[in-house]
Amino acid sequence: MRWFWYASPQTFFPLAGRIAVGCGMAAAVLGLAGLYIGFFVAPTDAQQGEAYRIIFIHVPAAWMSMFIYLVMAFWAALGLALNTRLSGMMASALAPTGALFTFIALWTGALWGRPTWGTYWVWGDARLMSELILLFLYFGFMALHAAIEDPRRADRAAAVLALVGVVNIPIIYYSVQWWNTLHQGASVSLTRAPTMAATMLAGMLTMALAFWMYSIAAAMLRVRGIIRERGAT
Amino acid sequence: MSDFFAMGGYAWYVWGSYGVTFLCLAIEIVVLLKREAKA
């Protein structure tokens, strides 16, 4: 791969379009498969009944909310270190989709909390608060970027904010271990066998893949818009 | 069929989650495609 060839916005522009089409189609197929498994293959949960089916969007959305932030911070750091134009554009392209998945994780979490915990929301709960802070970090990134007129300066300022906010990601992830929270621990981990039925896990992972593909497609479409609007084509 | 939509009494929670999620994604897709078509 000629990495530096694609580091220039005008050469990346058509490639971004092709990636968006491919990932968008993959997202649609995986999303339909995930919904089919989630609603028609996975059994009713013994304890939670049908309410647990929220898991098929809640967990993948929460994963994406954190992962997109890490990728955004990676591009921000790269932009600060190498001063490449495309890096800042990539970070800006990821932020709205990251914020969207953060909102979806919070919203579906609230609707899942009501039947299982008896409440939509608890102020002060470590997992809920750190995820809410993540939403504000995305908003802060976008607001700061929008407030600075020169796009290169805006890229750098927003990149610093993104990097400072990275500290929140391990806090979200480990909050269920570090503090007493209503939220349950991780059902899926790389070091332990999953504590859920195989079909439930399959539905969740398929939806997670669909959200991944969706996020890539959305970020690629948005970066095309940014490249065009900055007159870099 | 109506059993399916009733979601064992959890219809508001389950469909409220899925509905808002798809609405969010649909809005983002429309916004992005409009921006793409403007060029």
Tens of pLDDT, residue by residue over A151-173, are 999 999 999 999 999 999 999 99
Number of structural domains, chain B?
A: 1
* Block residue for tokens 């979806």: A104
**CB neighbour list of residue A145: distance below 8 Å, 6 or more residues apart:** A92, A95, A154, A155, A157, A158
Residue B17 amino acid letter: S
pLDDT band at A3 (very low <50, low <70, confident <90, very high): low
Q: Is A107 on the interface with B (CB under 8 A)?
A: yes
Residue A128 burial (10 A CB sphere; 0-12, 13-18, 19+): buried
**CB neighbour list of residue A188: distance below 8 Å, 6 or more residues apart:** A59, A194, A196, A201, A204
Instruction: Spell out the alpha helix ranges (H) of B1-39.
Output: 2-6, 11-38
Q: Is B32 on the interface with A (CB under 8 A)?
A: yes
Q: What distance in Å separates the CA atoms of residue A123 and residue A113, rounded to the nearest whole number?
A: 13
In chain A, which residue's Cα lies nearest the Cα of B36?
A225
pTM: 0.94
Nearest-Cα distance to chain B for A52, in Å, is: 8
Q: Do B21 and A61 touch (CB under 8 A)?
A: yes
Measured between beta carbons, which residues in chain B are less than 8 angstroms from residue A54? Answer: 13-14, 17
Query: pLDDT tens, A93-138?
Result: 999 999 999 999 999 999 999 999 999 999 989 999 999 999 999 9
Q: Is A104 on the interface with B (CB under 8 A)?
A: yes
Cβ distance A96 to A142 under 8 Å? yes
Q: How many CB atoms lie within 10 A of CB A137?
A: 24
Q: What is the span of the domain harbouring residue B22? A: 2-38
Query: Residue A109 region, left (φ>0) first, then alpha (ψ -120 to 50), else beta?
Result: alpha
